[in-house]
Amino acid sequence: MPKLAALLPKVHFLSSSPDYASLPGDDGAEVAFAGRSNAGKSSVLNTLVNRKALAKISSAPGKTRHINLFGLDDAGRLRLADLPGYGYAKVSAAEQERWGRELTRYITERRSLKGVVVVMDIRHPLAESDRQMLTLCRTGGRRVHVLLNKADKLTGNRRAKAMAAAEKDLAFLAPGATLSPFSALKRSGRDELLSVLETWLTEDS
Ligand code: GDP
């Protein structure tokens, strides 16, 4: 695979699927982005690929949730998956239940899924819904990288403390998970994220 950084300018929209069954081919390698609504997942994705609006602003409450796939190479064998934001109280119970089933299938069954980046707000990480997401990833045997976004909101010392606290909690909740700070606003932490994605997307099988 060419260096991931060289592929990013080629990123293009592939598909938007309301359920697991309608996702396109499960070959190649895929990395998914998940996170609570408002943690900044869209901003992180846009910062990662240097686009203003690749990932659209979170869909309106009540709307059917979709898995959006973006291809990195021309053939679309290397992909980023943008999962719907979770923890949004106004989504109907029926839609939450439906989506919970689809997400469980995606995380546990998708063969090309190489890892999940879970975006959290560094000021309040590991909410109950984040913990559920981590548990699901563990059930599916998925690698996890936690991205503590909005790092610009904390000064050096408070940021280091927040990182250390999250690291300690993660050791219990998601053994083996890695974490790094990020700021979509300041565009910091991008290289570290790139290197995680590159490792995941280039491994064999
Ligand atoms: P999503 O719902 O997780 O996709 O979140 P968005 O990307 O729409 O971001 C939610 C809000 O947080 C928006 O007002 C963004 O401008 C803001 N935001 C996102 N990332 C950052 C960041 O790194 N720093 C700061 N200060 N604000 C951010």
Tokens matching residue 184: 């979509």
Write the pLDDT tens digit of every residue in 149-183: 999 999 999 999 999 999 999 999 999 999 999 99
How many angstroms separate the alpha carbon of residue 119 from the centre of ligand 1? 11
Q: What is the pLDDT of residues 140-153, one digit of tens each?
A: 999 999 999 999 99
Q: Which atom of ligand 1 is nearest to the CA of 43?
A: 7
Contact assessment for residue 67 and residue 59, using Cβ atoms and an 8 Å cutoff: no
Domains within the chain, CATH numbers bracketed: 4-202 (3.40.50.300)
Specify burial of residue 6 (Cβ count, 10 A radius: 0-12, 13-18, 19+). Answer: exposed
Distances (CA, A) of 12 to 80, 111, 137: 10, 21, 26
Q: What is the pLDDT of residue 54?
A: 77
Instruction: List the one residue out of 102, 172, 165, 177 whose CA is nearest residue 137.
Output: 177
Which of the four pLDDT bands, split at 50, 70 and 90, describes residue 205?
low
CA of 34 to the centre of ligand 1 (A): 14
Give residue-wise pLDDT tens across range 73-118: 999 999 999 999 998 777 788 888 999 999 999 999 999 999 999 9
- Whether residue 150 has its Cβ less than 6 Å from ligand 1: yes
